[in-house]
Amino acid sequence: MKHSLKKVVIFGAYSDIAKALLWKLCEDQTEFLLVGRHQKPLDDLSNALQKRGAPLVITKTCDLSNIQEHQTLFDFIETQFYGYDTAFIAYGNLPDQHQCENNPEHVLEPLLTNYVSACSILLFLAKNMCIRKHGVIGVITSVAGDLGRKTNYVYGSSKGGLSIFLEGLRSRLVQYNIDIVDIRPGFVDTQMTSQFSKGFLYSTPQAIAPRIFSALKQGRAVVYVPFYWKWILLALKCVPRGLLSRLPI
């Protein structure tokens, strides 16, 4: 199904990947509602989008990891931005794996942010979009959710669980002409990965934004960005489990 992407809600609007997508969407005179935790970066982003020709930009602050705020948030969205045809969930939490292993309390935050709160937002979106019987929802998950690895299985499990949720939600919403796009980035040079040294497999938000835009436009079910991560993960899944567990990944 082709989608117009003319009225877009972005959750986690000033994440690096979201901003790269926003610049791409702005080329088509798209209207935006931007959601994030802090007002100042939302205002800066709003000003930049309007300078690029966006006809309407609305901002709303919300701690998206706190599901108690979601009802108020969606009351605002439905009142101030009714009829949106596209939603994009771009926020997340990359925990310190060693911290989580040494203190299990640290596991809670990434699970609440990456999985529980995202599921809550998705259910609100589904409820509202089902009434209009059209739309597309894009969600940033991760290739880390495809394969359990000893270096990041806390993060990976939160994203893998979200992908399973998306798969089920996609099946439920197909009768309402609503597409769910599971966007699985590999290594991307963003603020979230700033503490890591960058190798040749790293991409940039600007490089992957056109592929994300195209996937939303077409309503694709699952898209790996960059594309080669699909084949990397396929190859890793063919490695015998005993050997894979010995690899430093």
pLDDT band at residue 91 using 50, 70 and 90 as cut-offs:
very high
Contacts of 64 (CB under 8 A, 6+ apart): 11, 12, 35, 36, 37, 70, 91, 113, 117, 121
This prediction has a pTM of 0.94
Under the banding of pLDDT at 50, 70 and 90, the label for residue 200 is: confident
pLDDT tens per residue, range 12-33: 999 999 999 999 999 889 999 9
Q: Is the pLDDT of residue 64 over 70?
A: yes
Q: H/E element holding 9?
A: strand 7-11
Is 80 exceeded by the pLDDT of residue 8?
Answer: yes
What domains are there in the chain, each with its CATH number? 7-244 (3.40.50.720)
